[in-house]
Structure 1
Amino acid sequence: MNWIFAGLICAHLDVYFNSGVDLLPDWLGYLLVLYGMKTLYPVLPAFDKMRIVPLITAMCSIVLFGANVMGYLPSAGWPGAWMRFVDYALTIAVELGFCWSVHASERQLQCELDDASLLAAVGVTWAFAILGVILRLVENDIFALLTTMSTALLTLWLFYALWEIVKNYRYTKMQQAFEKNRW
């Protein structure tokens, strides 16, 4: 679970060097998420199906990162805004894949989470991402910070949900072992 957390933080934080190169590239974060999903697979098999999402987004992000380093990608105006939107869309795809895995695990372990708060968190994240892309056209960096904060809040909510699932799973396993050994 720590690998997934580190990967999503790496994907959300944009720390740029002088030449506009991201010091914490998104593809590294997606590969960390992939490794984290692989380590969770023995406990929660629902994570096996969605491991392809971080792999595909990592490959797309590597291409975008390489094109940015070589100076092929625009950074200002509408073309730059579209590139930022693609970057956000890749991150949202990984988060939605993670979210789907969490909910599949929820069904598998028969524990309940609050779906309404998840939909609200995803909606707020998308609203801030779209607003951040549009306002990046006028070079307003405050909204880029708001975008990062909203996606970080969604990430924290997803980790809380996963923690509840793992906690319920451990409790269920201990209860089953107790019932089995009691007789």
Structure 2
Amino acid sequence: MKTKFMHFMMAALLLGGSITLSAQNKETQEKKQRPTPEQMTQMQTDRMVKALMLDDATAAKFTPVYGNYLKELRECRMMNRTPRGQKDAGQATKMAPKPALTDAEIAKQIKDQFAQSRKLLDIREKYYTEFSKVLSQKQVTRIYQMEKSNANKFKKEFDRRKKGQKPGQGDRQRQRQHSPHHTGK
């Protein structure tokens, strides 16, 4: 009888612990919200100031310029996107296949992409001039290098999520493939 009671108590404790853990996970998920675009801009700006090792005076001049640069880039990148949750009248649902685009729609998409690329280039040229007023050319180059590096990181993460891998899983697979001890098994 005592052993049955002990087993019952152990099961109750385990069940109670798992309920508490799942409740805590839900609470942390609710608290964990995406940062606003302004918060993201501030975080990126702070990271760039640290990476460039700017003194206080230079950082004070650089911060508003870089913040405006990021804001304009974000607006430009959103030019051809429909907001999440909104669908065009003719757009298919997740279950139904997407309807084939007409030649005119494809041509419009391509021209919109050209316009977006031109605008991105215009923004980069405009802010290159602004950055050059505050920073050395080596520092300006560092900005563009970091942007490229971040873009590559985001692309890898996007590809990893698309494949449904866990963080770092794709890296371990590549390491095994390139390892001299890897036999292909």
Same fold (TM over 0.5): no
Higher alpha-carbon Rg: 2
TM-score (norm. length: structure 1) = 0.30
TM-score (norm. length: structure 2) = 0.30
